[in-house]
């Protein structure tokens, strides 16, 4: 009897795991490739589409830098599917941009891509967005697009706010490492107020908490709508992963979700 129960538990666990993998294989594309004129090299990305995707039009979209890590460590496609099925967010498309060299995945280009790199901005804003809008049922309204990143990727999101507010209204920054662009706050303070909405988070231990707080206060004083979450944790996925539902609900809430339905 003991062995029979063990077998049932093992097989049940395998069935659950296979079910999750089946969901992801259906809703998350294989790697797709685009040769960037502006970057001069090939970039790969994967696209999450909601269940019953063909029934929808004008879907909002979120572009995720370090997309390979948001898939593997953040489990974000699984979360998006869950939140859509629970009617907590609108059906949404996720574009997971891989920062690695397609010819050698051990080489990561994120450090050069994310520090307000104008060529990377041109690639995403002019090449990748056009490719996605051509091939997927996306809304082409900037209020229905957000860009998300962590650490240097958070800095990248802030740079896109300055450079591409006509394309991305949603700016999501997890533990942003803003030090490579020391004048970032000044640029925001000196520019006219742009049509942007911010999500910012930081951990409480060794996680750029102080500069993140300074940036948050600067854009809040400028009058931008912003949600700021400071949580226990450090610069790792134990901090970032639990906040992804807040990011998605903040930018793409379903009609049933009210302000009181979100975490403080």
CATH assignment at residue 172: 3.40.50.1820
In this structure, the answer to whether residues 1 and 56 fall within a common structural domain is: no
In this structure, the answer to whether residues 21 and 147 fall within a common structural domain is: no
Higher-pLDDT residue of 36, 10: 36
In this structure, the answer to whether residues 15 and 95 fall within a common structural domain is: no
* Sheet with 170-174, edge to edge strand ranges: 32-35, 42-48, 93-97, 61-64, 145-150, 170-174, 197-203, 226-231
pLDDT in tens, 99-124: 999 999 999 999 999 999 999 999 99
Higher-pLDDT residue of 135, 1: 135
User: How many residues are there in the chain?
Assistant: 264
What is the C-alpha to C-alpha distance for residues 90 and 248, in angstroms, rounded to an integer? 9
The two three-digit tokens of residue 121, written as one number? 């901005």
Bridge partner residues of 42 (DSSP): 35
What is the value of pTM for the model shown? 0.89
Provide mean pLDDT across the span 142-154.
Answer: 98
User: What residue numbers bound the domain in which 4 lies?
Assistant: 1-30
In this structure, the answer to whether residues 59 and 84 fall within a common structural domain is: yes
Q: In sequence order, which residues have a C-beta less than 8 Å from that of residue 52 and are 6 or more positions away?
A: none
Q: Are 202 and 172 in contact (CB under 8 A)?
A: no
| pLDDT at residue 23, as a whole number | 55
In this structure, the answer to whether residues 9 and 76 fall within a common structural domain is: no
What is the C-alpha to C-alpha distance for residues 78 and 20, in angstroms, rounded to an integer? 8
C-beta atoms surrounding 160 within 10 Å: 25
In this structure, the answer to whether residues 106 and 202 fall within a common structural domain is: yes
Calculate the average pLDDT of the chain: 91
| pLDDT at residue 13, as a whole number | 57
Asked whether residue 2 carries a pLDDT value surpassing 80, the answer given is no
| pLDDT at residue 10, as a whole number | 47
In this structure, the answer to whether residues 185 and 130 fall within a common structural domain is: yes
In this structure, the answer to whether residues 206 and 180 fall within a common structural domain is: yes
In this structure, the answer to whether residues 22 and 36 fall within a common structural domain is: no
| pLDDT at residue 244, as a whole number | 98
Asked whether residue 262 carries a pLDDT value surpassing 70, the answer given is no
| pLDDT at residue 255, as a whole number | 84
In this structure, the answer to whether residues 240 and 120 fall within a common structural domain is: yes
Asked whether residue 204 carries a pLDDT value surpassing 60, the answer given is yes
| pLDDT at residue 12, as a whole number | 58
In this structure, the answer to whether residues 6 and 81 fall within a common structural domain is: no
| pLDDT at residue 226, as a whole number | 98
| pLDDT at residue 1, as a whole number | 56
Band (pLDDT 50/70/90 cuts) for residue 170 is: very high
Domain count, the chain: 2
């Amino acid at each position: 009897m003991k062995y029979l129960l063990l077998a049932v538990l093992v097989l049940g666990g395998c069935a659950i795991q296979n079910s999750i993998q089946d969901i992801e294989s259906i809703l998350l594309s294989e790697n797709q490739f685009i040769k960037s004129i502006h970057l001069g090299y090939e970039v790969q990305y994967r696209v999450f589409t909601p269940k019953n995707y063909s029934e929808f039009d004008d879907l909002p979209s979120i572009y995720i830098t370090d997309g390979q890590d948001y898939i593997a460590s953040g489990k974000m496609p699984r979360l998006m599917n869950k939140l859509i099925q629970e009617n907590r967010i609108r059906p949404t498309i996720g574009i997971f941009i891989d920062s690695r060299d397609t010819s050698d995945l051990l080489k990561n280009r994120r450090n050069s891509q994310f520090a307000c790199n104008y060529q990377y901005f041109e690639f995403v804003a002019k090449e990748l967005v056009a490719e996605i809008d051509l091939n997927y049922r996306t809304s082409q309204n900037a209020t229905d697009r957000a860009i998300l990143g962590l650490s240097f990727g958070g800095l990248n999101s802030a740079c896109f706010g300055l450079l591409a507010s006509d394309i991305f209204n949603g700016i999501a920054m997890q533990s942003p490492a803003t030090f490579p662009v020391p004048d970032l706050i000044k640029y925001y303070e000196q520019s006219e107020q742009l049509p942007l909405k911010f999500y910012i988070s930081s951990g409480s231990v060794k996680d750029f908490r102080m500069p993140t707080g300074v940036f948050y206060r600067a854009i809040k004083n400028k009058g931008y709508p912003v949600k700021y979450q400071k949580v226990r944790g450090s610069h790792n996925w134990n901090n970032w992963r639990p906040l992804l539902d807040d990011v998605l609900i903040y930018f793409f809430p379903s009609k049933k979700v009210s302000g009181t339905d979100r975490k403080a």
